[in-house]
Amino acid sequence: MIKKIFHITCIIILWVHLAFSQDQDTSITTMSTGGPAEQFKADSLVKEELGPLDIGKDRGLYIVTADRKMQLRILGSVRFFALYDMVEIPVKKTFNTYFIPTGDNNVKIPNYYNSLNETRLGFEITRILEAQNVFVRLETDFNGSQGQFRIRHAYGQLGNFLVGQTWSLFSNVTSSPAMVNNDGPTGSVTLRTPQLRYSGQGKRGISWAVALEYSRPDVTVDDFDTSGISIVQLIPDLTGRFVWEGNLGVVQLSAVINAISKKDPSNEITNTFGIGGSLSGTVDIPDEHKLLYQFTYGKSISHFISTFSGTGNDAVFNPETKEFEGILSFGGFLSYGINWKLLKLTSHISIGYAQLSNKDFQPDDSYRNSLSLSLDSFWNLAEGARLGVEIIYGQRWDKGGATGRATRISSLFYYDF
């Protein structure tokens, strides 16, 4: 794993020198770690999309070329995550209420787990051109399936255009609370996708963006894999967002249209379209208080909601009609945050809810709805170092009425450098 990081580092630095080798003087000088130089700050068109636990702009090692036309930022974060479950849940790296055991399977088995998989390493490159800056970002961690090395962000940006992988326009991480559970409250949207994006800036705090994104449809395959039917990705997702920033906070409206393409044994393809919308934002309250919210609803778009990611609930296959039937999904949360400045402490209390519309032919143990209630506090230990503690309770209900409960106590210590 260390070799992979080393190789990636070498490739990026080599690419920077090759890409801009036309400059005669490309020697480098090291800047302080206090932040980027003024000429390298992002264009006003760029909308900052930093999550509550992302590495801040005041961290990292900044290096610039002698002609001061290019800057490299090296950033990282060492993160130690630990939890104690009262009920054994198969998914450990996040508290997902979808996987809470129900009925007789909901047995109290206390268990402990810890991980360093959330540790991050990244690079940012800013290049000054005559009209605007070119910006490239690569950020990785080890939090893939089975702890595998993975890419979080990898994109380039020039003016209005962005190409690469970053937060979907259907997400709004700026409205998410700071939580040890890195997927946010039940029902939240925290999806990163490969995309081609165009952004615009209006007057009076208004901005907008549209994109073509790639997110593979997530369908239940239990009953059709022997019928010669398969899913292919034929049409990219079309996403858009509208953002208004005012004195009292931020409001974001997002929309998505996606397609599920079914290929039969004769190679004939039919498309089923899904559509969804999301309302999210923040409300600033005096004395360092803040309200955060997010509500999402749609048909065949469940994989955008973190609770349903990877569960096959965009659509289910009807074994009688041999057709896919789209499922309606809803997810949302409310979170109230307080900044205790004197204590160097921030706290959030959050409630989240998610629900699927069940079909008559689905079994009784199919997921119907769930909720979570959490309390998180993060203490600023020192510059760049924070300790977070979380207690979270969740409950799930099945189509047939069976239910299950779970409680988790977890902590996250991290140092951003």
Residue 381 belongs to a domain:
yes
For 75-117, the pLDDT digits (tens) are 999 999 999 999 999 989 899 999 999 999 999 999 999 999 9
pLDDT at 376: 98
Residue 19 belongs to a domain:
no
Residue 300 belongs to a domain:
yes
Which carries the bigger pLDDT value, residue 317 or residue 6? Answer: 317
What's the number of domains the chain is made of?
A: 1
DSSP, res 404: E
Residue 26 belongs to a domain:
no
Would the pLDDT of 354 be above 60?
yes
For 388-417, the pLDDT digits (tens) are 999 999 999 999 999 999 999 999 999 999
Q: Mean pLDDT, the chain, as a whole number?
A: 87
Cβ(289)–Cβ(349) under 8 Å?
no
Would the pLDDT of 219 be above 60?
yes
CATH number of the domain enclosing 166: 2.40.160.10
Please give the average per-residue pLDDT across 113-140, as a whole number. Answer: 92
Question: For the whole model, what pTM was predicted?
Answer: 0.87
Please give the average per-residue pLDDT across 221-244, as a whole number. Answer: 79
Would the pLDDT of 44 be above 60?
no
Domain carrying residue 319: 77-416
Residue 51 belongs to a domain:
no
